[in-house]
Amino acid sequence: MKRQKRDRSSVLFNRGFTAGLVGKSRDECPVTMGDLRTQWMSGWREGREAHWNGQSGVSAININPSLH
Give the model's pLDDT for residue 16. 94
Give the model's pLDDT for residue 46. 93
Query: What's the pLDDT tens digit per position in 29-66?
Result: 999 888 899 999 999 999 999 888 877 665 666 555 55
More confident residue, 68 or 12: 12
What kind and span of H or E run contains 34?
helix 34-52
Looking at residues 9-34, what average pLDDT do you find? 90
The amino acid occupying position 55 is Q
pLDDT > 90? residue 15: yes
Q: Angle at CA 22, nearest 5°, toward 26 and 36?
A: 40
Closest Cα partner for 44 from 29, 59, 56, 62? 29
